């Protein structure tokens, strides 16, 4: 089976993305995950460029990797200095890595207008820089910056740059589409011409996504014989990003017959993608191929009913192969199939013409129009479902709450909440301070409830997301609504609830109350039977929430 090695540059080129920052600790944690995933090379950064990267190379020496080789990045040496006097090349030597990638100019226009040296001088810079590093490294890669643009402008010069790198000992010539605008057909043609000029060369590919072709271009290069693919997790990178390894790896493994990380490791891909997003504090892109939250999510009624019969009908691969799963979305567009599918999960085998189903669809539609989004807040949906099915038990009832936020010139911001509830026939009136108004409300609410429901101590709030939605032309203008999603968990699992209001505090309150209700409901031995309907069909239409 053909093989290709994966060279990850998330820690270097990935951090060029807007709003993406990684600390040294973040980088070390990500490197560990990439190694575990079976990535062959991890480019840690540019040791000569900044203190974070220098520190990374110092600390990474203390870690043993089972798969990955750590690589350092740098440029050809400063034209005014000898290679051995160049701080950036020296820093690579001092980093004591086994591999390094050195980028050099191969586009004549860049040589003269950005680097501002003569064309022959640039060939010397490439040769001398690589020759200087060669004895210090086990593997040496030459990143031919702007190679495809350079080849189009001056093919002889671009090839001369590659030859200079080869002569100085480069193991792999990595052809870079730095500006990301090369068409797949042009890229293939240029690679074939390079192979004609340098038949022995081992080629790598490094693409950017400015024309949304980074993945296609990387796959085309591998098809033509490239042995190394450079890219980043989730395609992070400057401008439109780098080639997305989370798409390239499964396509190579599952569709192209090229082995890179192995089928077993492939199952970790979704987890690694999320881990990197989380660590880099990036909102995961739901439509991301293979690993995205929506990648195998079905909403259209026809699709849902077909997928329920046979997932192969609307899924190009089995989601479990990449560690993902399929989902059926709840939505006003979805029609009854989705509602019936969920009902079955809750133990109700409802008929599609059951009036309860129609009422539930109508209620769902009304609430979604208000901004509730149940596809991401299934616990809130489950509460709604059981309320509609006649579950009328109330664990507590709100009398009132109040939150005060105050700031004075000298003091830290201060949040205080008071809550008055009816709990099991008694009035509970509590107060609490907190880190922000939502935290204060949460603490006060628990103080009121925990004496009656000690199991609430087991649960905690895990995440809190706020989205401002502008709901156009409701009563004329545009009104801003706030949707709050709260993720909570206990030892058994996690659940998400939703609240919507034009007031962020009220929206948070709704989601908090749903979350506590869900915990109480799921632990309640007297709740409606969930896995069977042996007590007969539930009574029709209860008092709504």
- Residues within window 12-51 making contact with its own copies, judged by CB under 8 A: 15-19, 21, 25-26, 50
C-alpha distances in angstroms, 542 versus 448, 498, 538?
Answer: 28, 22, 10
Q: How far is the CB of 530 from its own copies (least distance, A)?
A: 26
Cα–Cα separations (whole angstroms), residue 199 to 108, 160, 385, 425 = 23, 14, 66, 85
Instruction: Work out the angle at residue 527's Cα, subtended by the Cα atoms of residues 525 and 530, and round it to the nearest 5 degrees.
Output: 100
Query: What span, in angstroms and rounded, lies between the C-alpha atoms of 96 and 272?
Result: 27
The verdict on 80 binding its own copies (CB under 8 A) reads: no
Q: Nearest CA to 28 among 279, 321, 351? A: 279
By the rule CB under 8 A, 289 interacts with its own copies: yes
> CB under 8 A: which stretch of 80-88, 285-293, 443-451, 533-541 binds its own copies?
285-293
Please enumerate in sequence order all residues whose Cβ is within 8 A of that of 312, keeping only pairs 6 or more positions apart, or say none.
Answer: none
For its own copies, what does the binding mask look like between residues 482 and 511, x meaning CB under 8 A? Answer: x------------------xxxxxx--x--
What SS3 class is residue 323? coil
Is residue 534 close enough to count as binding its own copies by CB under 8 A? no
CA distance 290 to 293: 9
Which of residues 33 and 465 has its CB atom nearest to its own copies in the complex?
Answer: 465
Q: Is 99 in the site for its own copies (CB under 8 A)?
A: no
152 lies in the site for its own copies, by CB under 8 A: no
Judged by beta carbon, residue 455 or residue 503, the one nearer its own copies is 503
| Interactions with its own copies, residue window 404-423 (CB under 8 A) | 404-409, 413, 415
468 binds its own copies (CB under 8 A): yes
Should residue 433 be labelled a site residue for its own copies when binding is judged by CB under 8 A? no
Task: From 135-143, 350-358, 429-437, 516-524, give the range in contact with its own copies by CB under 8 A.
Answer: 429-437
Query: How does strand 327-328 pair with strand 297-298?
Result: parallel
Strand 479-490 and strand 493-501: pairing? antiparallel
Could you count the other beta carbons within 10 Å of the beta carbon of residue 180? Answer: 23
Give whichever of 98 and 463 is closer to its own copies, judged by the CB atom.
Answer: 463
Which C-beta is closer to its own copies: that of 332 or that of 523?
A: 332
59 binds its own copies (CB under 8 A): no
Q: Is 283 in the site for its own copies (CB under 8 A)?
A: yes
Give the torsion sign (CA, 54, 58, 63, 65): positive
Question: In 491-544, where do the E strands start and end?
Answer: 493-501
Which 243-272 positions form the footprint of its own copies (CB under 8 A)? 244, 247, 251, 255-256
User: Angle CA(519)–CA(525)–CA(531) in degrees, nearest 5?
Assistant: 90
Binding-site member from 8, 373, 378, 382 for its own copies (CB under 8 A): 373
Write the CB contacts of 82 (distance below 8 Å, at least 6 apart in sequence). Answer: none
CA dist., res. 124 & res. 134, Å (int): 15
Cβ distance 452 to 423 under 8 Å?
Answer: yes
398 binds its own copies (CB under 8 A): yes
CA distances from 14 to 206, 234, 289 (A): 13, 9, 18
> With binding defined as CB under 8 A, does residue 466 bind its own copies?
yes
Minimum CB distance to its own copies smaller for 160 or for 245: 245
Is position 362 an interface residue for its own copies (rule: CB under 8 A)? no
Nearer residue to its own copies within complex by CB, 297 or 423: 297
Q: Which of 316, 344, 424, 544 binds its own copies (CB under 8 A)?
A: 316
Asked if residue 545 binds its own copies (CB under 8 A), the reply is no
Find, among 393, 390, 374, 394, the residue nearest to 382 by Cα.
Answer: 374
Residues 417, 441: Cα–Cα separation, whole Å: 5
The binder of its own copies chosen from 35, 143, 220, 354 (CB under 8 A): 220
Please identify which residue in 4, 295, 360, 516 interacts with its own copies, judged by CB under 8 A: 295
460 touches its own copies by CB under 8 A: no
What are the phi and psi torsion angles at 85 (to 5°)? -95, 0
Q: Does 532 bind its own copies (CB under 8 A)?
A: no
Site for its own copies in 160-219 (CB under 8 A): 178-181, 183-185, 209-213, 215-216, 219
Task: State the Cα–Cα distance between residues 208 and 235, nearest whole angstrom.
Answer: 9
Query: Which of 315, 363, 490, 524: binder of its own copies (CB under 8 A)?
Result: 315
**Site for its own copies contains 300 (CB under 8 A):** yes
Q: Smallest distance from the beta carbon of 511 to its own copies, in angstroms?
A: 13
Q: Does 110 bind its own copies (CB under 8 A)?
A: yes
Question: Parallel, antiparallel, or unpaired for β 460-471 and 479-490?
Answer: antiparallel
The enclosing H or E element of 520 equals: helix 504-522
Q: Which is nearer to its own copies, 71 or 510 (CB)?
A: 510
Nearer to its own copies, 77 or 166 (CB): 77
């Amino acid at each position: 089976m053909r093989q290709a090695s994966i060279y990850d540059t998330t820690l270097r080129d990935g951090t060029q993305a807007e709003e993406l920052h990684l600390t040294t600790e973040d980088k070390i944690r990500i490197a560990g995950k990439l190694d575990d995933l079976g990535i062959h090379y991890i480019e840690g950064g540019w040791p000569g460029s900044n203190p974070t990267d220098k520190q990374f190379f110092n600390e990474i020496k203390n870690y043993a990797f089972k798969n990955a080789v750590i690589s350092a990045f740098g440029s050809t040496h400063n034209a005014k200095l000898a290679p051995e006097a160049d701080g950036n090349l020296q820093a690579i030597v001092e980093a004591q890595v086994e591999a390094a990638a050195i980028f050099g100019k191969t586009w004549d226009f860049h040589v003269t207008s950005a680097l501002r040296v003569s064309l022959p001088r640039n060939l010397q810079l490439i040769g001398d820089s690589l020759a200087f590093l060669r004895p210090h490294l086990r593997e040496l890669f030459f990143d031919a910056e702007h190679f495809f643009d350079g080849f189009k402008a001056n093919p002889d010069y671009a090839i001369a740059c590659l030859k200079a790198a080869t002569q100085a000992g480069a193991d792999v010539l990595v052809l870079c589409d730095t500006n990301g605008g090369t068409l797949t057909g042009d890229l293939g043609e240029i690679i074939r011409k390079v192979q004609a000029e340098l038949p022995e060369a081992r080629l790598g590919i490094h693409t950017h996504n400015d024309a949304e072709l980074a993945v296609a271009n990387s796959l085309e290069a591998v098809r033509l014989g490239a042995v190394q693919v450079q890219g980043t997790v989730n395609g992070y990178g400057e401008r439109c990003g780098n080639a997305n390894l989370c798409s390239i790896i499964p396509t190579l493994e599952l569709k192209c017959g090229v082995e890179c990380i192995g089928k077993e490791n492939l199952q970790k891909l979704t987890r690694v993608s999320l881990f990197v997003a989380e660590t880099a504090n990036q909102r995961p892109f739901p439509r991301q191929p293979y690993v995205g939250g929506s990648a195998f999510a079905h909403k259209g009624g026809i699709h849902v009913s077909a997928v329920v019969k046979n997932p192969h009908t609307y899924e190009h691969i089995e989601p479990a192969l990449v560690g993902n799963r399929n989902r059926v979305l709840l939505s006003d567009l979805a029609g009854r199939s989705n509602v019936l599918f969920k009902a079955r999960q809750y133990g109700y085998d409802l008929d599609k013409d059951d009036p309860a189903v129609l009422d539930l669809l109508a209620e769902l539609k009304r609430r979604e129009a208000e901004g509730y989004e149940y596809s991401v807040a299934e616990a809130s949906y489950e509460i709604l479902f059981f309320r509609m099915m006649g579950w009328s038990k109330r664990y507590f009832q709100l009398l009132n709450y109040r939150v005060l936020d105050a700031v004075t010139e000298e003091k830290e911001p201060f949040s205080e909440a008071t809550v008055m509830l009816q709990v099991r026939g008694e009035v509970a009136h509590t107060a609490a301070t907190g880190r922000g108004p939502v935290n204060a409300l949460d603490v006060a609410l628990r103080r009121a409830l925990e004496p009656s429901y000690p199991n609430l101590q087991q649960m905690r709030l895990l995440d809190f997301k706020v989205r401002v939605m502008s709901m156009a032309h409701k009563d004329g203008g545009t009104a801003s609504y706030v949707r709050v999603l709260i993720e909570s968990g206990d030892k058994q699992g996690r659940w998400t609830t939703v609240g919507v209001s034009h007031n962020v505090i009220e929206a948070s309150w709704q989601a908090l109350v749903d979350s506590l209700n869900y915990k109480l409901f799921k632990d309640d031995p007297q709740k409606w039977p969930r896995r069977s309907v042996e007590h007969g069909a539930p009574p029709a239409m209860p008092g709504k929430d």
